[in-house]
Every structure is written in C-alpha cells, then in structure tokens.
Amino acid sequence: MRTTTLNGQEIDFDVTGTATDEPALLLLSGWCQDHRLFSRVLPILAEERQVIRMDWRGHGRRRAVADDFGPAEMADDAVALVDELAVRQVVPVSTSHGGWANLELADRLGAGRVPRVVVVDWLVGRASPEFVAGLRTGYHPDTWREGRQGLFDIWLDRSDSPDVRRHLEEEMAGFEEEMWTRSCRVIEAAYARWGSPLERMLAIKEERPIAHLFSQPGDLAHRREQRAFSARHPWFQPRWLGGPTHFPTLDSPELISEAILAFTAGAGR
C-alpha cells in the first residue's frame, strides 16, 4: 500500500489494473476493516477495471487518530484521494456501514463523476431496537468486547470459512477500543439522523443507479422490503447473493465480482 497525506491525515491506498475504460472502481471497507477485505475480489475486478483500494483514516498503518470523525470526514478523504489521482469517473463500492460515507461521496462529486454506486451487505432498513441495543453495548467502555463478539457471531453465522474467520479474529479484532466504540456511536447517529440507508438514498441530490449486493440478513422480509422499495424507485437495484456470511467479498468473490462488473458496465450506456 502507498501512503499519502489528505486533510492532514495519513491515508493508505493502492491502484491496480491497467484498463482505461471508465469508470474506475473505488473499494471502501466498513468500520474496523481495511483493504484486505477485498483481497479475493481484487484480481478479478482488476482484469477489467482500474481498481483503487483505500483505507479510511485510522484504518491503515497508522491506527491512532487525534480527532473524532464520521461519514462526512471519511467522504472528505475519499474525495481528496479521487482528486489527487485525477480520476475522472468512479463507481464507489462500499461494504456495510461504509455506505454512509459512500453516499456522501456520491453527493459531493455528483452524478457526472459518480454515475453509479454499489453498497454491499448493509442494513438498509430502519434499525431494530435489538440492533440499537447492540450498538450501545458496543460503545460502552465496560461491554464493548461483548458487543463486538455479538456482531462477530452474527456475521460468521456458524460458517467454517477460513478467510472470514481470519478477517474477524485477526484483522477486525486488531482494531482497538477507540475505533470500535467510535464506529458504534457513529452508526447509531447515522440511523438517528436519516432513519435508514434507504431514506438516505432518497435524499441523494442527483438520482443515479444504486446496487445493493447482500447476503445478510437473508430473511424473506428483508428481501421483500427492498423489492418493494425498488418497485417505487427503479434506480435501486437489490440483489441477494445467498452467501453464508456478512462478507461476500471473502466468501463469494467470483459471484460478487461479476455482479459489480456487470453493474458498472452499464455506466457507459
């Protein structure tokens, strides 16, 4: 990974692929994850597109951050990186609650530079009381480890995938209390402000296609809610991948890569 300084923050990134077709892909993780989340999809995507992986501030080599931050500051850094790399058009692909910053990025750059958006495995409906309670457990100083383990158990869902287990037990568990508690606070605040990711999408300044590629939750009610929303707003394109965990880039890399590439190809039409 290379390092640059943007908005006074050290940001790690890399650029892979020599394809000249626009738009490029910008891969953005969720909280307490880094570029390794995309290690299995990168070779597939880079065969057809230029691919940029970016670690959020405090998520790369330097894990300490002096000031608090949330989706607005994360979008600041993503915009600055796209500008520094002189990328004319980009499709941002975010996972989980990296989606809040993704939509902010799309608003900042406009539909001309961000013609399409991909969000992956995001709780796009309203937060349930149980989910909010879990977030509060996750940011309490006495229970944050318990809250983290509760999320790990849901996300793994008894899968025996070695890639997912390594991602949880080594990569995500490598982040300290400060980042984990911040993530839970920021996510709760985002739902309180917008209601849900779907409602945030309705507030986007310029309409454009948004794909949601997901495996969890896999229940029928969750899928029906998204199909109903898509029927009212055809620019929203949900696709259930049916994978075993919360991490389709690790457990279903070929399937999600093909979905991303097919969706991105439509940006030139």
Residues with active-site annotation: 246
Buried b (16+ CB within 10 A) or exposed e, 109-147: bebebbbbbbbbbbbbbebeeebbebbebbbeeeebeeb
In this structure, what token pair is assigned to residue 255? 């399937």
Contacts of 220 by beta carbon, 8 Å cutoff, 6+ apart = none
Question: Which of 211, 204, 6 is CA-nearest to residue 106?
Answer: 204
Return the HEC string of 74-129: HHHHHHHHHHHCCCCCEEEEEEHHHHHHHHHHHHHHHHHHCCCEEEECCCCCCCCH
What are the CA-CA distances from residue 116 to residues 47, 72, 110, 186 (Å)? 20, 20, 10, 25
How many Å apart are CA 67 and CA 267, to the nearest integer? Answer: 37
Helices (H) and strands (E) in the chain, counts: 11, 8
Q: What are phi and psi of 129, to 5 degrees?
A: -55, -35
